[in-house]
Structure 1
């Protein structure tokens, strides 16, 4: 029987205290991985998540960093090195949240925030953690993209700009480091049901569901399941992929 087995692996998840991040952290831990919990502002949630992960017998470390600052990423790496030999799996999940507006109304600062947290975060993480993966001839570099990259709907311009720029970085990186048996992939969630939705009873959106072939929104656990698969040896021959987890709402063409 096939199983997603991450036993002995160490995974760094940026934005691990967020709605999707903490489900990914729990899921990778349940598959056997030790978890490095990155956060920027929510230290309380980081500590709660650490306790959860350690309660199932995994090692866990909390690291704080501004992922838009290269020096912060380097300091994060140095702290990690005090506790773990290396990082096997990097999941770039952190992103700045902001109010969506039209191109004419969106602030320049919002465009910069998306470029910094989508494109530059990925570049900083690659420069910091990929060289050691090259030495070991193994590693998983995973980015959380979005179905919006294919939708280009009104109001999405800053978000789409950041995520489409990120897409270019990942595709090139996959070709550059593939010979070292490191995979580079993107998971692209649709509009996902999270803990907030469950608490507020907002899981159903009729207008959105009509556009989705499966006629529903996906869940945070369904996203995390795909991340775990891509992080595992079961996905050892998948790289350079943009994988929508959107119930068919977007479908990359050939």
Structure 2
């Protein structure tokens, strides 16, 4: 595990909360990290590489490696202070139809999206328990609730985050720690921008809002769930999907 500071934004001294957002180099994670920086928090990311937003400190580690995760959190705590907010956003996809999906396709996605999240939550919760306060936000997906063709691995990993958040809520709620799932629908990212136009149009027809979300719309909901104002919200699944998943 190596650390790669992205800026000298903390040189003036500590302010705000210490927030860790996994996978903040791009997409939804990047927008979430930028939102916390704008909110005045001290933001770090555990990530695999890439350019980071201004004001975000980077700690390169593989979340499938327990020792690397623990070392990254130890470094963050030494540099910035106790972690008060964790946003577990890092995830991967390996879409394939069920009959063609290999063991490796399934296990590798679950190891990042579910077990990797568990590793981060377990380590972050240690300081939160001592402080008797904390916010844990798991970034799920609407397909974790509704399912998705060719996504048995991905949707299973995201569905499991609901049970994780609710178990954490029951276990740690009395210590002032909340755990919730924010479940985005289709979001304007590099991945969705690369979809063929006919595929995009097919998805849009299923969304009552008739558009994809902007990444900052996901970030604003995460910001609220992580705020003091949401202190009585825990064990919840909050869809941000333009109405796509109504009824699930």
> Aligned-pair distance for 1:135?
1.4
C-alpha distance in structure 2 between counterparts of 1:13 and 1:211, whole Å = 30
C-alpha distance in structure 2 between counterparts of 1:190 and 1:178, whole Å = 28
Aligned residue for 2:11?
Answer: none
Distance change in 2, residues 1:215/1:10 (3 Å): same
Q: How many residues matched? A: 233
> Aligned-pair distance for 1:130?
0.6
> Aligned-pair distance for 1:196?
6.2
Root mean square deviation, CA, Å: 2.0
Aligned residue for 2:49?
Answer: 41
Among 34, 49, 73, the residue aligned to 1:26: 34
Which 4+ runs in 1 deviate beyond 2 A?
194-202
Among 224, 229, 234, the residue aligned to 2:229: 234
1:162 aligns with 2:157: yes
Task: Return 205-214 or 143-152, whichever deviates more.
Answer: 205-214
TM-score (norm 2): 0.88
TM-score (norm 1): 0.86
Task: Return 241-250 or 148-157, whichever deviates more.
Answer: 148-157
> Aligned-pair distance for 1:205?
2.7
> Aligned-pair distance for 1:125?
1.5
Distance change in 2, residues 1:200/1:123 (3 Å): closer
- In structure 1, runs of 5+ residues without a counterpart are 1-6, 54-59
Task: Return 244-253 or 225-234, whichever deviates more.
Answer: 244-253
> Aligned-pair distance for 1:38?
1.9
> Aligned-pair distance for 1:233?
0.9
Report Cα offsets for 1:14-68 as digits up to 9, x if no partner.
Answer: 11112111111111110111110221132xx13xx2xx22xxxxxx421011101
Report Cα offsets for 1:192-231 as digits up to 9, x if no partner.
Answer: 01256679997x9322122112121111110011011111
Report Cα offsets for 1:78-104 as digits up to 9, x if no partner.
Answer: 211221220111011111232x11111
